Amino acid sequence: MRSKLFFLLVIILLSIPYVLKSQWTQVVSGTASNLNAVEVINADTAYAGGSNVFLRSINGGQTWTSIALINTSNQPINGMAINDLHFFNSQTGIAVGVRASSIHTVLRTTDGGLHWSVVLTQNDPQGWSGGITRVDFINIMQGWCVGSSGKVRRTLDGGLNWTDLPDIPNVAYLKTVDFTNAQVGYVSTEQGFGGGQLMKTANGGQSWEPLSSGIFSELHFVHPDTGFLADANYAFRMHDGNINWDFLLIPDEARARRFSFQNGNAGFMLADNGVRRTQNGGQFWEEYRFQPLIRWKCAILSGLPVFRQASRSVSTDAFTKLPMVAAFPRRWLISDGSEFCHFL
């Protein structure tokens, strides 16, 4: 579904301005497979997943070890493409994705990825490829995953069991999902032959209301009615529950890939050619580019959004939902398909 993705994981303190002078250094991942997801647990431990590959780092991303995907009976889990990861701590986590092109699959580990339980496996009801694309948790118990054929699922027990919610009709893919609480959430849809919509639920995913046409690759909400969105060409700030949209002027008209906001004003944006920081809700962006200066086509990992600090743990967050008071400053990771860079 997505040929090649480039992922960034940022760990930074807003209060440390001298990181702008730091440098990028290449770190070899040890795999040629495309990587689709990265999750940081603490200053040392991080996980990454992709096409039939699962990686672990125990030294802050400087080196990575491949761990075979096997079940609790030590049998291989073949053909699994991990599209997204969510870890609650260094041992317990969720991997969502697809097997055999169209089998929706959720895996759960309690030993840091050494073994996985296959907690959900289901053929795509309409035969679309891609499987489960994203997973989002609001706390250690309640989360949602979305994927092809408009499938929406919810867990209330930390990913042990998943319940099908009503499908969103006339949809080929659900590209991304972001819930702000147990009731309010947003998804971006894509139809099979072009076009899509931004949709909102106010009842935990039981029904969805269309808000705007368009295919949005990124959704990041800091409040049930306030969020940042990006499509293939532009970035926006939505407030007042979709009544008002602000167009965000991005330097060089670079494509926005992911957002990470502490509140409605202070946050980061990943664009094609670098990371930008704003202190005024996106009206002005401070830029610091990747080295060397090339046009990256990248997307950032979703993790646990700590900007909803009341219900989420600081120690398990990744860039799009990055805590701005993280315990491990000045370290960034980026991967170009299957490789990483370390930012110190």
pLDDT at 295 over 70: no
pLDDT given at position 325:
26
52-106 pLDDT, tens digit each: 999 999 988 888 999 999 999 999 999 999 999 999 999 999 999 999 999 999 9
Delineate the domains of the chain, giving CATH numbers in brackets.
6-343 (2.130.10.10)
Q: Give the HSE-up count for residue 292: Cα atoms under 13 Å, Cβ half-sphere.
A: 1
pLDDT given at position 337:
55
Mean pLDDT across the chain: 77
Q: Extract long-range pairs of 302-307: CB within 8 Å, 24+ residues apart.
A: 302/37, 302/84, 302/86, 302/134, 302/135, 302/136, 302/176, 303/39, 303/40, 303/85, 303/86, 304/86, 304/88, 304/137, 305/136, 305/178, 305/220, 307/222, 307/260, 307/261, 307/262, 307/263
257 compared with 202, residue with greater pLDDT: 202
336, 308, 85, 317 alpha-carbon torsion, rounded to 10°: 60
- Name the nearest CA neighbour of 131 among 80, 87, 86: 80
153-197 pLDDT, tens digit each: 999 999 999 999 999 999 999 999 999 999 999 999 998 777 899
Residues 6 or more apart whose CB falls under 8 angstroms from that of 177 comprise 134, 135, 136, 144, 145, 146, 152, 185, 186, 187, 219
pTM of the model: 0.79
Tell me which amino acid residue 221 is: F
pLDDT given at position 63:
87
Compute the chain's Rg from CA coordinates: 18
Q: What distance in Å separates the CA atoms of residue 30 and residue 328, rounded to the nearest whole number?
A: 24
